[in-house]
């Protein structure tokens, strides 16, 4: 287990990394950083535009540079993009600099949650189910290997999922007898 004061959230598209991450950050008194939003802030355009101009390779380079920068901070909750784990150097940064939480979800849950979301460039394909399955085959073994804690995906509200995450994180730390995480009263 990594005793770092940083929490890093990984997982597939639509797992709730941003929504749950914001709530966890408040609970643990950490500033929240969404990696995709950081890319947009630095570039001055949305992720789709970065993909259109630079392609996935250009986006991944920007993602790696900002992940390195953001993961060096102390006391932060960082929600990564779903594909950030693909690069070895990104996995090294996450594994060495923070406690990694994997938000799990099924392809069916992803399809349901992303039904009306047309902002994700890698899902701008005719068969989203097939695309999500292909991404899961590649990424799930990486998530599994990198994660310090896996949080099973279930149907329910963001509030319920966040409470479940907090309970699992707190239980994990109690078992490990570590002083962290900090909590707001």
Q: Does 183 map to a domain?
A: no
How far is the C-alpha of 40 from the C-alpha of 107, rounded, in Å?
26
Residue 76: the pLDDT is: 96
What does the pLDDT profile of the chain (185 residues) look like in tens digits? Answer: 444 589 999 999 888 899 999 999 999 999 999 999 999 999 999 988 998 899 989 999 999 999 999 999 999 999 999 999 999 999 999 999 999 999 998 888 877 876 766 676 666 677 888 988 998 999 999 999 999 999 988 767 788 889 999 999 988 877 775 555 555 53
Quote the domain boundaries for residue 154: 7-176
In the chain, which ranges are E strands?
7-10, 32-34, 77-79, 99-103, 149-151
Question: Residue 3's Cα: distance from chain center in Å?
Answer: 19
Candidates 122, 166, 138, 180; CA nearest to 23 is: 166
Residue 19: the pLDDT is: 92
How far is the C-alpha of 155 from the C-alpha of 88, rounded, in Å?
32
Q: Does 1 map to a domain?
A: no
Q: Which residues are annotated as a binding site for Mg(2+)?
A: 18
Q: Which residues are annotated as a binding site for substrate?
A: 36, 60, 139
Residue 36: the pLDDT is: 93
Q: Which residues are annotated as a binding site for ATP?
A: 14-19, 120
Q: Does 164 map to a domain?
A: yes
Length of the chain: 185
Number of H helices, E strands in the chain: 7, 5
Q: Does 100 map to a domain?
A: yes
| 36 contacts 122 by C-beta, under 8 angstroms | no
Measured over all CA atoms, what is the biggest interatomic distance in the chain, rounded to whole angstroms?
49
Residue 2: the pLDDT is: 47
Number of domains making up the chain: 1
How far is the C-alpha of 99 from the C-alpha of 5, rounded, in Å?
8
Q: Does 76 map to a domain?
A: yes
Scan for tokens 């597939």, then name that residue. 12
| Cβ-based neighbours of 37, under 8 Å, separated by 6 or more | none
Q: Which residues are annotated as a binding site?
A: 14-19, 36, 60, 120, 139
Residue 1: the pLDDT is: 44
Q: Does 2 map to a domain?
A: no
Q: Does 109 map to a domain?
A: yes
Q: Assign residue 111 the CATH number of its domain.
A: 3.40.50.300
How far is the C-alpha of 170 from the C-alpha of 182, rounded, in Å?
10
How far is the C-alpha of 99 from the C-alpha of 165, rounded, in Å?
13
């Amino acid at each position: 287990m990594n005793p770092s004061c940083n929490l890093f959230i990984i997982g597939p598209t639509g797992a709730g990394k941003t929504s749950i991450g914001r709530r966890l950050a408040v609970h643990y008194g950490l500033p929240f950083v969404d990696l995709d939003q950081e890319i947009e802030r630095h570039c001055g355009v949305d992720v789709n535009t970065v993909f259109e101009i630079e392609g996935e390779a250009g986006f991944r380079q920007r993602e790696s540079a900002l992940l390195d920068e953001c993961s060096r901070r102390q006391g932060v909750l960082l929600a990564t993009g779903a594909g950030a784990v693909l690069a070895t150097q990104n996995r090294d940064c996450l594994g060495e600099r923070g406690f990694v939480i994997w938000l799990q979800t099924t392809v069916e849950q992803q399809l349901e949650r992303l039904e009306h979301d047309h902002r994700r460039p890698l899902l701008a394909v005719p068969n989203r189910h097939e695309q999500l399955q292909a991404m899961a085959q590649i990424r799930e073994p990486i998530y599994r290997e990198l994660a310090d804690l896996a949080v099973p995906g279930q149907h329910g509200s963001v509030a319920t999922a966040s409470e479940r995450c907090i309970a699992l994180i707190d239980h994990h730390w109690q078992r490990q007898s570590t002083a962290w995480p900090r909590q707001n009263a």
